[in-house]
Chain A
């Protein structure tokens, strides 16, 4: 079926097949070249790559800090650095990993590259805003680095008042940096929502939207609604420090617990900013590598929205021992359990997708299985912490540290790596060394568990977090954890090594190496500068593996006058089926 006859009442349209090229001469990387073309690009793919470079850099900076922290904890007293240095290190480790790595990781880096391709669009809705978002990120990061060199900060990434209103160092500068980065995140959110609403190719109805797009859609909603609250809160901290207005510091008549409400009103939803895009990656990879239709499409799509929504109502579970009213604690605990349900539903649906699939255990899928186990542990320990009586014991101990590393590193970083491996051929046009990828995945998995499982035990035993000195009883656990962290670090380095190596002389990738049905695989590898030389027309869902590949490569010839516009109100039929394009 090379061409399909399509008709509407008024006009007949020729939908024809556009077979992607494996290694075209011209692609987005060589159609425009030179440093200037990168710095001023509005191409979502290049912006995505620049984000990828920046977050990789900060991941390693944050990682080195983590290793220094872990090394210091080798002995119960001072090992090699001062208490204050230690406090600055764990603060920066947390702040960098969260604001500079994890929040932009999947959305701004992978999402930027993939989202328009999945929608069949030539770019995001606001390409210039997209570039601005990147520069805001860089500016914020620059301000943060400046604050590190200019006195540092030792408040923890949570900036709790009144400690943060009174301690020395460059808190105000750092807070301003995070404020600026917040706007980068908001702009990405606005851009994605508009793009998903307005830029879908003809035939791409909401029920055919890839789940990765659904994930990014839910994430963008949270980014837009929650980030301004963080911005305002941090601005208030800055005002308190500079102008001496009493907002949070009781010495000036403020309320320190109010800060915690504001902060977690952002930061709890933010943990979903850090995981929901990962859910999207999981759905894409599971279906591709089991060549099977996703199980429970709507359950997965809507549970992301449910999480985004309920996620706004549970912030108080970080404050069970802060002195908030017992009634408030009860309500927050209840809602916390409700948010666990949609997450569980996703896990079950993914598992069911594997049933009767054709499962090819390639490295992206292997990373996803890593995600499965680690995220499951992270999620279930979240249930433990959501139970008030248990949280009273476990709050601010290493149990919590282990919990959030299981979800953030075990969950999101694994999902990010899975996505990176999955889309690497499309992005770079090269294949990495598959054996190395599998070994690295194993090393990361083992290293991670050796690092963080002992932390559950010592946390339950009572070891508080953010401790420079600790009592001797905990030393064996700390030492195992430190050893694990170096194994983990080795794993990440290995990934970096073989991915970079693949750029130089890795095997050339074909257009669709995994045999996926999703739209981003139906174009050239590497993609052309404007993604599509035709207007893609979608007649099947992205997971319709029972349909032949040809049906996923249909499109309309582009009218030469109007390069960017998409035909609206188009009715197309193919094989006698009606499809509606909005």
Chain B
């Protein structure tokens, strides 16, 4: 039984996941019975009533109202059960408990960012306390994205220009993957993230450490921190660091090189150019590349930008 469950469904890691699963099995179970039943009847008829001679005559049977009613009403009752049940679980998924812990989520091509009450920020990794309802208040900076955590059986579109909400309660510490499930362009399938569920205490520590957000951890050199940031902020989804071809120009050997632009102008890559490219990506478009990068204005602070520039300088 468990083997079948694991084959079809991911682990159930939220308090409501089991409810969804019960319905999942109910509908699939009854469908399977119906399918087997109907196919068996057809196979039986095809065999039993196979044509035995060319001038066979068939009886005239035009309709049967009792049968019509039966096979309308029984399925109707079944689907009404599925409807009511589905709606009930959905309401449980929708109505947020009052004491939920709130985290803000911002989606943009192609990263997930999370902002916490005390100014802490994280990118790609959503940190939450275990065994406590968490409410996500989500919105997008560009196109529609969708926040999907299979382990929680939850999904919610993240729309520009408005807020959408979703909530869950993960009883056990652990990790679960986040997918973007609304098509959003070239990096859509790389727009992954992770929910990290901590024990309450561990979570408080994490939160305290990151209060105010965005300053360099003591034990890292600027370029090491820059490398970390480039990962976290998903720069490396589009920019390779080893010269390979991706959506954006590679960073390898970039610093100090000659850059050609779509409008025919050129520039030698220095700190100012890199800074401008991070804050105003569309000011100069590199020849042969699409203008798809978003601004990081208001997201990366100066200290972080400096660290990333330091990192790029190391990529000879």
Binding site for B on A (CB under 8 A): 83-84, 87, 154-156, 160, 162-163, 166-168, 250-251, 255-257, 290-299, 320-323, 326, 329-330, 333-334, 337, 340-341, 344-345, 347-349, 351-352, 354-361, 369, 372-373, 376-377, 380-381, 383-384, 386-393, 395-397, 457, 460-462, 464-471, 544-546
Contacts and interface: CB of A to CB of B under 8 A. Distances in A.
16 contacts: A291-B51, A296-B62, A297-B62, A298-B63, A321-B157, A322-B157, A357-B45, A369-B46, A372-B42, A388-B87, A389-B20, A389-B88, A391-B86, A395-B155, A464-B179, A466-B189
Interface residues on B, range: 35 or more
Contact of A356 (B49, B144, B187, B192): B49
Contacts of B9: 460-461
Given A359-B51, A383-B79, A384-B27, A251 B186 contact: no
A293 B164 CA distance: 55
Nearest to B32: A380
A376 to B, nearest CB: 6
A472 to B, nearest CB: 12
Determine which residue in B41, B49, B247 has the highest number of CB atoms from chain A within 10 A of its CB, and name it.
B49
A301 to B, nearest CB: 11
B184 A163 contact: yes
Contacts of B296: none
Nearest to B179: A464
A355 B179 contact: no
A387 B78 CA distance: 12
Nearest to B149: A462
A373 B159 contact: no
Contacts of A467: 188-189
Which 7 A-B pairs give the minimum distances between C-beta atoms? A462-B150, A250-B161, A387-B86, A389-B89, A467-B189, A388-B90, A380-B31
Contacts of A381: 31
Given A372-B42, A393-B154, A546-B58, A256 B160 contact: yes
B160 A333 contact: no
Contact of A297 (B50, B63, B177): B63
A457 B57 CA distance: 46
Nearest to B145: A163
A92 to B, nearest CB: 14
A376 B121 CA distance: 49
Contacts of B160: 162, 250-251, 256
Contacts of A160: 143-144, 182-183
Contact of B75 (A344, A356, A393): A344
A192 to B, nearest CB: 26
B60 interface: yes
B67 to A, nearest CB: 7
A167 B188 contact: no
A341 B72 contact: yes
Contacts of B34: 376, 380
A156 B64 CA distance: 46
Contacts of B151: 462
Interface in B96-138: none
A90 B156 CA distance: 24
A546 B290 contact: no
A466 B186 CA distance: 10
Nearest to B89: A389
B183 A351 contact: no
Interface string B159-176: 111101000000000000
Given A162-B143, A341-B75, A387-B82, A356 B93 contact: no
Interface string B68-86: 1001100110011011011
Interface string B1-32: 00000011110000000011001100110010
A326 B187 CA distance: 31
A372 B86 CA distance: 27
Contacts of A349: 68
Nearest to A250: B161
B288 interface: no
A399 to B, nearest CB: 10
Contacts of B56: 291, 358
Given A162-B160, A321-B157, A290 B83 contact: no
A323 B145 CA distance: 12
Contact of B71 (A87, A294, A344): A344
Contacts of A255: 161
Contacts of A344: 71-72, 75
B35 interface: yes
Given A296-B68, A321-B155, A461 B10 contact: yes
Nearest to A360: B51
Given A322-B157, A389-B87, A464-B181, 18 more contacts: A87-B188, A155-B183, A166-B143, A255-B161, A256-B144, A295-B61, A295-B62, A296-B68, A298-B63, A333-B87, A345-B72, A348-B71, A359-B46, A373-B39, A386-B83, A392-B93, A392-B155, A396-B182
Nearest to B151: A462
Contacts of A166: 142-143
A468 B110 CA distance: 14
Contact of A361 (B46, B64, B67, B164): B46
B150 A167 contact: no
Interface in B176-226: 177, 179-190, 192
A452 to B, nearest CB: 15
A468 B58 contact: no
B38 interface: yes
Contacts of B27: 383-384, 387, 390
B70 to A, nearest CB: 9
Contact of B8 (A293, A334, A461): A461
Nearest to A393: B153
B95 to A, nearest CB: 9
B182 A291 contact: no
A19 B56 CA distance: 22
Given A293-B61, A380-B31, A545-B58, A351 B45 contact: yes
A83 B187 contact: yes
Contacts of B159: 250, 256-257, 322-323
A198 B130 CA distance: 70
A390 B24 contact: yes
B155 A466 contact: no
B63 A323 contact: no
B148 interface: yes
A117 to B, nearest CB: 24
Contacts of B183: 87, 155-156, 160, 163, 465-466
B59 interface: yes
B58 A293 contact: yes
Given A160-B144, A333-B86, A380-B31, A358 B38 contact: no
A294 B68 CA distance: 14
Nearest to A336: B83
A159 to B, nearest CB: 11
Contact of B82 (A250, A294, A352, A383): A383
Contact of B63 (A295, A383, A546): A295
A354 B42 contact: yes
